[in-house]
Structure 1
Amino acid sequence: MQRQKIIGIGDGPASFNAEMNLLVKNVISVDPLYQFSAKEILARFNEVVDSIIDQVKATPNNWVWSYHKSPDDLRHHRLKVIEKFIADYEFGKQNRRYITGELPSLNYQSQEFDLALCSHFLFLYSEHFDYDFHLNSVAEMLRIAQEIRIFPLLTLMSKPSPYLDEIVKHYTSAGYSVEIAKVDYELQLGGNMMLKIARKDN
């Protein structure tokens, strides 16, 4: 049986690709960040990690401490993640598992992937990217993959994205299978919902 081909879009300095590669999964990660070296990415992470954790500590009511037990535990987890990413990054780039690219235009063939994932980018940055960007990005994900999944559905301000309902209506009326599913992971309060869109012939 052929392995499912997966693309993670906007993956950033995450350990997803490294962990999936150890499980012999067929995963490609795409992000504009990958134009930089491991040393440059790690330096940037070290510059911002403490300020990000300080922002989390300043808004205690916006977070759920179940998977992560505290802001300090979150910081510790992020350090472990970046460590795994950096250890895998240069080798993964040589194997073309980490590719420089960004939405809404990706250099892949139509239906090249079984599954396209987008975590902590679309909807989260609704204040920075408008509705057309989201619509075009979802369209591009559906062009290259049979099914797409986007998580979470809240903005950085922990509010529902103003674009979600229109995206759901658009693709439901276009004949796609559209589902908003609850997931086990929740860090942002209320941020435990995932959008799944698939072709009906799937």
Structure 2
Amino acid sequence: MNNKELYAQQGVAMTCRSFEEYQSMFMLDKATLAKGKILDIAAGASSFTAECIHRGYDAMACDPLYKLNSEQIYEFGQQQLLIASEKLSSKKEAFVWNYYHDIQQHDDIREHSLDKFIESYKNDMDREVYVNAMLPNLPFQDDMFSCVICNHFLFLYQEQFDYSFHLAAIKEMIRVTKKGGIILLYPLVGFKDELYPHLDNLQQELSQMCVNVSIRTTEFRFLPSADGMLAILK
């Protein structure tokens, strides 16, 4: 059992990930993306939503970061990317580099994702695509989305947010998901690369809500043990 953090993190980091990373993490296919409206929760400055829209999909994102303007997010993003690169460089042997190959490629993807996000964010003047919101209370109607995704937030921060928060957050995701829709959560480990300890209890409690809960294998891996995602079918 690993008692040391592989990646030291205070507070919630801002994420900058690409469409291709999301595809790999969540095993997303065209049928899932084209089924209906998509919501990326705790999306940060990832370009997934921008790239979904560019491909003709109906997508939205939410994050408390969206209270800031584009200049503020870009400046904050540049700071976050530098910090993340320095942390990874100091412990690069602890991670799996099959996807990124090296730190330079990792950083290049982040930079490119941030740039794409900022361009899209600037064009969303009325904040109809990028909504300032945070779990466990989302400002969306019931049964609104066909696909709800959340990466590198919930279980990754298992020492900062307790079981009651995780349960309330997922119940809120279920509320805004259409019948027949899907919720995908990745990863299932924290910064110590340990599986979320309450996963069995969580699955049992959620199963009582007339949803199908399962763990699916994903081809994406960066933290050594992060090879699974939680899938919830409503």
TM-score by length of 2: 0.80
- Equivalence for 1:172: 207
- Equivalence for 1:147: 182
Task: Indicate conservation of the 8 Å contact 2:61/2:131, yes or no.
Answer: yes
Task: Indicate conservation of the 8 Å contact 1:123/1:164, yes or no.
Answer: no
After the TM superposition, which parts of structure 1 deviate over 4 Å for at least 4 consecutive aligned residues?
Answer: none
Report 1 or 2 for greater relative contact order, CA contacts < 8 Å, sequence distance ≥ 6: 2
Q: Deviations over 1:122-144 (max 9, x none)?
A: 10111111110000000000011
Q: Deviations over 1:16-37 (max 9, x none)?
A: 0110000111111000000101
TM-score by length of 1: 0.92
Q: Give the CA deviation at 1:181.
A: 0.5
How many residues align structurally?
Answer: 198
- The answer to which of 159-168 and 103-112 deviates more is 159-168
Q: Structure 2: which 5+ residue stretches go unaligned? A: 1-33
- Equivalence for 2:45: 13
SS of the residue corresponding to residue 100 of structure 2 reads coil
Q: Following superposition of structure 1 onto structure 2, how do residues 16-165 of structure 1 map, counting pairs within 5 Å? A: 16-94=48-126, 96-145=128-177, 146-165=181-200
In structure 1, distance between residues paired with 2:190 and 2:125: 31
Q: Give the CA deviation at 1:163.
A: 2.9
Q: Give the CA deviation at 1:164.
A: 2.1
Q: Give the CA deviation at 1:170.
A: 1.2
In structure 1, distance between residues paired with 2:202 and 2:124: 33
Q: Structure 1: which 5+ residue stretches go unaligned? A: none
In structure 2, distance between residues paired with 1:193 and 1:174: 22
In structure 1, distance between residues paired with 2:176 and 2:219: 27
In structure 1, distance between residues paired with 2:233 and 2:204: 14
